[in-house]
Amino acid sequence: MLHTIKKIGVLTSGGDSPGMNAAIRSVVRTCAFHDIECYGIYRGYEGMIEGDFEKMDARSVKGIINKGGTILKSARSKEFRTKEGRATAHAALKKAGIDAFVVIGGDGSFTGAMIFSQEYNFPVMGIPGTIDNDIFGTTHTLGYDTALNTVVEVIDKIRDTASSHNRLFFIEVMGRDVGHIALNVGVGAGAEEILIPEEDLGLDRLLESLRRSKRSGKSSSIVVVAEGDKIGKNVFELKDYVDQNLKEYEVRVSVLGHMQRGGSPSCFDRVLASRMGVKAVEGLITGKSNFMVGLKNDQMELTPLELAVKGKSKIDMELLRVSDIMTI
Ligand code: ATP
């Protein structure tokens, strides 16, 4: 059955990422363009349950395209995982007359939206917002490009001190399950080795690579390590291992942490967010539901939420080979 959409809600859920505000702006303005009322839903599903809504118009989202974080705030809601919680959320949406929503978040947020949509035949659309780029159905999630630029800039700075003191740095970046950030910043910042969750390069190879690097006269070495690297050692354990096995190196560790999630979104993320917001709202208007908006071959495409949640986002194996060649 086609729903005639009159009021659309928009929320950000799960971890924040740069570009979320630009996506909120796009959803609100696309609604205004099509004469549809738009409501901001504060603090993710938590605010949906509490009915924490605010009517937004084109001017409510001025001056936010360049801001990191999310003006709608984000949260994780235990209650929304329960039938009762979702029933309360549905009642709150109905009371406000909201008849569809766009959720900007990661796969957990999409799972919640999917379940809710099935239970109440409620139209939903997802916009992938997470720096990890770990979502199937899009080559880029919102915030990923910004995070890459932030991390490369930091590694360049660390390299300055590394080469002044002939040091080896292990730098931990985000990526528990996928190595997109590590692989790309590793290549982009010229790391000697990149340790990712997808491939176990082995400790022997790491030592050999570092020895080779020393022999070739390099004055500094950077090893980029994803949080979930497959060798199974964290950066501090890796430091201990190298301290014991390669006495010629002075080893330091840097864990980049949450700074990777902050900052003003890159131009790429702002444009992507603008395109995604338009596609999400226009998808809902044309009767589509339960999809995620994504970027494929530079086009906006819809992927069923179920696939987006179940599918695996894969790293570019050719880039791994490029990285090997670059560190010769
Ligand atoms: P991140 O990239 O930060 O992990 P995410 O969207 O995956 O983002 P989650 O904390 O996994 O973050 O999910 C966000 C919210 O979505 C949860 O707090 C919960 O309210 C809702 N959610 C997640 N999984 C489910 C589920 N199985 N059923 C209902 N709601 C869910």
Q: Within a 10 A sphere around the Cβ of 34, how many other Cβ atoms? A: 15
Residue 9 Cβ contacting ligand 1 at under 6 Å: no
Tell me which residue has its CA closest to atom 20 in ligand 1. Answer: 77
The phi, psi pair for 196, rounded to 5°, reads: -130, 165
| CA 224/CA 155 separation, integer angstroms | 9
Tell me which residue has its CA closest to atom 25 in ligand 1. Answer: 112
Show the domains of the chain with their CATH numbers: 7-143+265-310 (3.40.50.450), 145-261 (3.40.50.460)
Give the pTM: 0.95
Residues of the chain below pLDDT 70: 1-3
What is the C-alpha end-to-end distance of the chain, expressed in Å? 60
Tell me which residue has its CA closest to atom 31 in ligand 1. Answer: 112
Ligand 1 pocket test target in 41, 49, 70, 80 with most atoms within 8 Å of CB: 80
Contact at 8 Å (CB) between 242 and 192?
no
Ligand 1 centroid from CA 47, angstroms: 14
pLDDT of residue 149: 98
Ligand 1 centroid from CA 73, angstroms: 15
pLDDT of residue 51: 98
Active site residues: 132
Residue 15 Cβ contacting ligand 1 at under 6 Å: yes
Ligand 1 centroid from CA 105, angstroms: 8
Residue 12 Cβ contacting ligand 1 at under 6 Å: no
Residue 81 Cβ contacting ligand 1 at under 6 Å: yes
Contacts of 265 (CB under 8 A, 6+ apart): 18, 19, 21, 22, 65, 66, 68, 142, 143, 146, 273
Residue 130 Cβ contacting ligand 1 at under 6 Å: yes
Ligand 1 centroid from CA 81, angstroms: 8
| CA 211/CA 221 separation, integer angstroms | 11
Buried b (16+ CB within 10 A) or exposed e, 201-226: beeeebeebbeebbeeebebbbbbbb
Ligand 1 pocket test target in 11, 77, 82, 111 with most atoms within 8 Å of CB: 111
